[in-house]
Structure 1
Amino acid sequence: MNTSVTAKGFTRYRTNNTMPGKMRIQQAIIALFVTSLFLLLPQHKGVLASSTFKLQKGNTLIYGHNINEGDIGVPGLVFINKRGMFKTGRTWSEIITRGRVNPSSHTWISRYGSVTFNNFGKDFPDGGVNEAGLFIWEMNEEADYPKNDSLPKLNQMNWMQYILDNYSTTEEAIRSATEFEIDGWSCHFFVGDAGGNTAAIAFINGQVVVHTGDEMPVPALFNAPYDRELELSKYFRGFGGEYQPNETDPNVPRFVRTAVMIDNYQKEDDPIDYGFYMLKTLRVFDDPEWSILFDARNRTVHFRTHINPERKTLMMDEIDFSNNEPAQVLNMATAFSGNIRSVFEPYTKSIMQYFISNELLPVLSRDFISHGDLSGKAFTERIVNHTDSYADSTNHFFKGTWESARTVDDDEPLYSINFDVEGSAVAAVIFLDSADEPYNVDNLTMSGNQFCFTFQTKSGKILEVKGTIRDDVMFVNLLGIEKSFGDYTLKRTH
């Protein structure tokens, strides 16, 4: 057995052909101890063994995620989601009940494009990463989502898409957890950004519970509350305990094994190979159904599935995230390896219809489908058609030309803003003073009736517009880098 002691006192086990008798006894005790503790933890039907972690050392910054479901062949689609898209939120109860109970009325325009991995439909991700490098993933765990009728409502998957559409930092994602009433099945969430800032976000006893910074000493999350993982870890060496953790021993908690593997990473290790080694080592039932890595430094996504273990790669900087073309999609199990950018196809509802009917429904339990009061066919139609409202012109309350008030001394408007919608893609331009040509806007985002965008003048100044729409009146503030240029009221002219 080859071992080397690291700074934290962990022992590195990469080969394990022999083991001293005393150590075998220790490992047997650990197995009994951990198994007994596991039986005391809340058990879940369905998914039991998802894993998410951050590996950060030197210039390496990798986020990884596994789905383990006992080899039932979890189907999935990879989506390339575009920026500048108008979206309508959904609650889970709205999707699965005949009467569309507790519907969402929240709408937004996406600021960022993203790559997501979905098994329930467009904008219902299991997790993903956006072009700003923000990563989020859900894992099953008991959750008691806070109730607050004054907040906008979203189901937990739609909420993750909202975060990827609108935010770039872990801090913003944490704040978002208190700004929505979330429904759906029980999950807690791992978030990480391009700077390596991570958080575990849980919903316990009707409260948002967050671990981040020093309160998250191991940047990983599994299927038990983070505080419980910390309690279990204290019995192992490196955490103040006596038991020697072996990174490949399935009787050692995944939380502890992840800490060992992070500590054992060496600069000569290939980060992607090592990330997949970590994911494979963290398997619970069989080889993971999905294994996904995001290399935040090189901005690449890598994944493999149990159905098709060939490694696939998607380079974020090769993707056109503009809304000039529709979202794109690829079945995760496609028999293809290497760079997969060329094999994506434009998203259509018929692709979603086929996927749910032929791949998703066959692996869902009868209890899951009957949780609401819809048939399998009606459930499929709800998932497939929930995006129809994006392109419904009656929802485009922001569309049109908005002009600032005229003055006595000047017959021309100070400036005007035009929002246009084609399908669900939103474009905007601004006319400033008497300029002959409009300025195209950048970083357009909207949440509810509040919006924000930037534009650059011909002299190179970067200006920001923040506004609120109420009926046919728009209230905006024009901001420079170091000063405000004032508040304006605009009215819709057509």
Structure 2
Amino acid sequence: MCTRVVWNGPSGQVLVGRNMDYHRETATNLWALPRGITRDDGVGGQLSWTSKYGSVVAGAYDMMTVDGLNEAGLGGHILWLTESDYGTHDKSRPALSVAVWMQYFLDNFATVAEAVDWIEKTSVQVVPLGDPATGEVPAVHLALDDATGDSAIIEYLDGTPTVWHSRDYAVMTNSPAYGEQLELLKKVKGFGGDAPLPGTGDASDRFARAAHYVSSLPEPQSQVQAIAGVLSVIRNAAQPFRVPEPGKPYASQTIWQTVADLAEKRYVFESTTRPNIVWVDLSDLDLSEGAPAGKLDLLGDTALEGGLAGNVSGRFEKSDPLTFIAMPS
């Protein structure tokens, strides 16, 4: 489920596309979260902080951030990884609820290097919490990217973080774990092997296609062309709607996709069930300390007559900040 790809353009452009593939709707809205919001780790532990950077994020069920970018140009993207093993919660270690995991980085860091340094120094633990509505416990990994083109993939396979840090790690999908994905890619023509470019919806096949097509994008003549190019790559890796196969009740389909322009601070969102693309320019938002949070209601938008389309930076409604899932106190 899900594909993420980074494109580093020849003129300093850095755009990141991602598909959200899931077996049911994630009740996603967009949130504008200003600087100066106080948060905690959600697990009654050691971490509390005040957000240093404002951000625009896509939420799941209005209780977890799964995608977005901050005003410094750091992007974050949560994707599924069945092999995730966060270990037993050790209350002596710094820890973050999986719901606020990505948001911690958007709140506190401007670059991937800063975030990776903090992870390596703290060996922070991630604590999975079940969705209160369904009881489903997410098993996920995290991608970070920034306006310099840097990239990192963070996975938990044995209770501790494994970090893949390089601008070369531009593509991410799902199972198997990242090291195995890189080895599988070597079998494909153009990446060291002689196997043809695969075409199924399997994570390793989407990985190969995204890696191939992002490396083939032409130089754009405008930001619009750059966004269209990245959208074309992630659409190639999208999964169509389909009746679940026998034995695969959780087979995913692409329910929405985003493109984040990390250099120009534009966030583009497209639902696969609505005809219009919307985008937010962070420069048009008030993300200063003391400003109210904003919520863009995508669930109530039919996008058919007078609905949301184009630049929606001015359409956010004042709101209390997003509230994250937390352990019962």
- Structure 1 pair 228–330 and aligned structure 2 pair: CA distance change class (3 A): same
Instruction: Provide the rounded CA distance (Å) in 2 between the counterparts of 1:237 and 1:76.
Output: 37
Corresponding position: 1:134 with 2:74: yes
The gaps in structure 1 that reach 5 residues or longer are: 1-48, 92-102, 353-382, 390-494
User: Secondary structure at 1:288's aligned position in 2?
Assistant: strand
Instruction: Provide the rounded CA distance (Å) in 1 between the counterparts of 2:152 and 2:77.
Output: 11
Specify the alignment match of 1:343 in structure 2.
Answer: 315
Quick one: which amino acid aligns to residue 110 of structure 1? S
Specify the alignment match of 1:88 in structure 2.
Answer: 40
Instruction: Provide the rounded CA distance (Å) in 1 between the counterparts of 2:168 and 2:153.
Output: 11
RCO (CA 8 Å, sep 6+): is it higher in 1 or 2?
2
Quick one: which amino acid aligns to residue 199 of structure 1? A
Corresponding position: 1:171 with 2:123: no
Correspondence for 1:242 among 189, 194, 200? 194
Correspondence for 2:235 among 280, 287, 292? 280
- Structure 1 pair 165–296 and aligned structure 2 pair: CA distance change class (3 A): same
State the 1:187 CA deviation.
Answer: 1.1
- Structure 1 pair 105–241 and aligned structure 2 pair: CA distance change class (3 A): closer
Question: Which string of whole-angstrom CA distances, capped at 9 and with x for unpartnered residues, describes residues 137-166 of structure 1?
Answer: 111112122554322332122121111111
Quick one: which amino acid aligns to residue 154 of structure 1? L
Specify the alignment match of 1:292 in structure 2.
Answer: 258
1:415-494 correspondence to structure 2 within 5 Å = none
Correspondence for 2:208 among 256, 265, 276? 256
Corresponding position: 1:107 with 2:59: no
* Superposition CA RMSD, Å: 2.4
Instruction: Provide the rounded CA distance (Å) in 2 between the counterparts of 1:348 and 1:322.
Output: 15
Quick one: which amino acid aligns to residue 81 of structure 1? L
Instruction: Provide the rounded CA distance (Å) in 2 between the counterparts of 1:228 and 1:255.
Output: 11
State the 1:190 CA deviation.
Answer: 0.7
Correspondence for 1:271 among 206, 209, 226? 226
Instruction: Provide the rounded CA distance (Å) in 2 between the counterparts of 1:258 and 1:54.
Output: 10
Specify the alignment match of 1:222 in structure 2.
Answer: 173
Correspondence for 2:58 among 106, 117, 128? 117
Question: Which string of whole-angstrom CA distances, capped at 9 and with x for unpartnered residues, describes residues 149-207 of structure 1?
Answer: 32233212212111111111112222333523220132111110111100111111223
- Structure 1 pair 181–240 and aligned structure 2 pair: CA distance change class (3 A): closer
Specify the alignment match of 2:156 in structure 1.
Answer: 203
Correspondence for 1:181 among 120, 125, 145? 125
User: Secondary structure at 2:99's aligned position in 1?
Assistant: helix
Instruction: Provide the rounded CA distance (Å) in 2 between the counterparts of 1:168 and 1:310.
Output: 31
Instruction: Provide the rounded CA distance (Å) in 1 between the counterparts of 2:324 and 2:161.
Output: 31
State the 1:327 CA deviation.
Answer: 0.5
Quick one: which amino acid aligns to residue 211 of structure 1? W
**Poorly superposed stretches of 4+, deviation over 4 Å:** 248-252, 383-386
Q: Larger deviation: 193-202 or 234-243?
A: 234-243
8 A contact 1:311–1:337 mirrored in 2: yes
Instruction: Provide the rounded CA distance (Å) in 2 between the counterparts of 1:158 and 1:206.
Output: 18
8 A contact 2:74–2:144 mirrored in 1: yes
Specify the alignment match of 1:53 in structure 2.
Answer: 5
State the 1:218 CA deviation.
Answer: 4.3
8 A contact 2:70–2:106 mirrored in 1: yes
1:144-163 correspondence to structure 2 within 5 Å = 144-146=85-87, 147-163=89-105
State the 1:63 CA deviation.
Answer: 0.7
- Structure 1 pair 149–175 and aligned structure 2 pair: CA distance change class (3 A): farther
Instruction: Provide the rounded CA distance (Å) in 1 between the counterparts of 2:55 and 2:174.
Output: 25
User: Secondary structure at 1:161's aligned position in 2?
Assistant: helix
Question: Which string of whole-angstrom CA distances, capped at 9 and with x for unpartnered residues, describes residues 370-415 of structure 1?
Answer: xxxxxxxxxxxxx6897xx9xxxxxxxxxxxxxxxxxxxxxxxxxx
Corresponding position: 1:69 with 2:22: yes
Correspondence for 1:313 among 254, 279, 302? 279
Quick one: which amino acid aligns to residue 191 of structure 1? L
Instruction: Provide the rounded CA distance (Å) in 2 between the counterparts of 1:223 and 1:104.
Output: 29
8 A contact 2:86–2:127 mirrored in 1: yes
Quick one: which amino acid aligns to residue 340 of structure 1? V
- Could you tell me the TM-score, scaled by structure 2's length? 0.81
Quick one: which amino acid aligns to residue 201 of structure 1? I
Percent same amino acid at aligned positions?
A: 24
Instruction: Provide the rounded CA distance (Å) in 2 between the counterparts of 1:249 and 1:385.
Output: 35
Instruction: Provide the rounded CA distance (Å) in 1 between the counterparts of 2:219 and 2:271.
Output: 27
Question: Which string of whole-angstrom CA distances, capped at 9 and with x for unpartnered residues, describes residues 287-311 of structure 1?
Answer: 6211011112222111111232311
8 A contact 1:312–1:340 mirrored in 2: yes
Instruction: Provide the rounded CA distance (Å) in 2 between the counterparts of 1:107 and 1:200.
Output: 24
Question: Which string of whole-angstrom CA distances, capped at 9 and with x for unpartnered residues, describes residues 24-59 of structure 1?
Answer: xxxxxxxxxxxxxxxxxxxxxxxxx11111011212
Quick one: which amino acid aligns to residue 233 of structure 1? L
